Amino acid sequence: MATSFYLGKHHVGVDSCYIIAEIGSNHDRKKKRAFEMIHRAAKAGANAVKFQLFRADKIAADIDLPETRLRDKFAKFGSNVYALYKDMELPSSWLEELKSCCKECKVDFLATPFDEGSADQLAEIGVPAMKVASFEITHIPLLRHLGRLKLPVLLSTGMANLKEIQDAICAIRDAGENRIAIFHCGIDYPQPFETVNLRCFETLRKAFPYPIGYSDHTQGIAVPVAAVALGASLYEKHVTLPGGKSPDHDFAISMDEFEKMVKAMREAEVSLGSSKKEVQKNELIYRLRGRRSIFVVQDIKKGGIFNENNLAVLRPGIGIEPKMFEKILGKKSRRNIKAPHLLKKGDWK
């Protein structure tokens, strides 16, 4: 089993969390806007940017059914899901330019394909992996096709149970690809915090021997920091620029917030550190300065008795440790001692 693998130069499952800026459809079919988002994501510290590559006639039926009509918060985007997707299609002619922009910015170029033809286009231009959207986890023909492309597969698992995840993995693996990463994911836009269930990371780790990530639809940066603290190997978040018109825009975070998020995630990663409980080098000065030692605080003559009046436990911690205090009480001084004095071995009989 591929418990780790490379995405470009990044060793997933070994290196730090692989952070994906999910542009999705927030380019609004404006190439300049797409380029700006790539530059901003790279500046913020993302490892990759990701788009979505679909064709309306390959993803939805152009038919009027109750289930296809757009209602509630999505009604403003068209009459049905076909119209919605048609209006958000990423032009295939952009792919090479988008990839070149990513190369210039030193981030990986990714896109989620929603049909076999789109997957082939992405493979042809040389993406480092194939991303599977949660909605496609039961699209076994597509998963088998992706498994034959000799590229790692990043599998989102929103709305899926363990059996469906297992079936998807088997389809990919049986087609020849064993470099798989599993993204825990929730489906709502935005997703309520009480439905995030990051404890599922452990469930997925026990069930599948693959790197675990998180595909995020929450608002703010609390969840990504928690995700990386729980060991997420990959993470993706929807990003946007002001004035967006796509449905993704309404729950995506701004580029400024994304930059703060990446910084917080990296700080959280560094702070995880080692499992060893030991003195850190930067703590040594504070250890000496802040801990305590036994001091003589009143003059004492040779043969005098050490007691609670002439001894005290004070900073700094450079002498005899406080745990010896009661053992020294009642002992006789070997010599005349003038206070204040750091008590030393040999000062008592």
Name the amino acid, one letter, at 14.
Answer: V
- Residue pair 265/296 in contact by the 8 Å Cβ criterion: no
**Hey, what CATH topology would domain 5-54+90-272 get?**
TIM Barrel (3.20.20)
Segment 216-239, tens digit of pLDDT: 999 999 999 999 999 999 999 999
Name the amino acid, one letter, at 202.
Answer: E
pLDDT of residue 1: 62
CATH architecture of 281-342: Alpha-Beta Complex (3.90)
Share of the chain above pLDDT 70, in %: 99
Residue 337 confidence class, pLDDT cut points 50, 70, 90? very high
pTM of the predicted protein model: 0.90
Count of all residues that appear for the chain in the document? 349
Name the amino acid, one letter, at 238.
Answer: H
- Residue pair 240/258 in contact by the 8 Å Cβ criterion: no
pLDDT of residue 212: 98
Q: What is the DSSP string of 259-292?
A: HHHHHHHHHHHHHH--S-----GGGHHHHHHHS-
CA distance 254 to 271: 25
The residue-averaged pLDDT of 148-166 equals 98
Distances (CA, A) of 338 to 288, 297, 333, 349: 23, 8, 12, 17
Stretch among 67-76, 99-108, 269-278 having the lowest mean pLDDT: 67-76
- Residue pair 170/144 in contact by the 8 Å Cβ criterion: no
Name the amino acid, one letter, at 132.
Answer: V
Domain definitions of the chain by residue range: 5-54+90-272, 281-342
The residue-averaged pLDDT of 68-81 equals 77
Segment 242-267, tens digit of pLDDT: 999 998 898 999 999 999 999 999 99
Q: What is the DSSP string of 14-73?
A: TSS-EEEEEEETTTTT-HHHHHHHHHHHHHHT-SEEEEEE--HHHHS-----TTTB--GG
- Own/partner contacts of 284-288, CB < 8 Å, gap of 24 or more, are 287/317, 288/316, 288/317, 288/318
Token pair, residue 172, equals 């990919």
Give the distance from CA 180 to its chain's centroid.
Answer: 17
Strand partners, 130: 153
Strand partners, 257: none
CB neighbours (10 Å) of residue 88? 22
- Residue pair 292/318 in contact by the 8 Å Cβ criterion: no
CB neighbours (10 Å) of residue 349? 9
Residues 6+ apart with CB under 8 A from 13: 3, 4, 5, 181, 211, 233
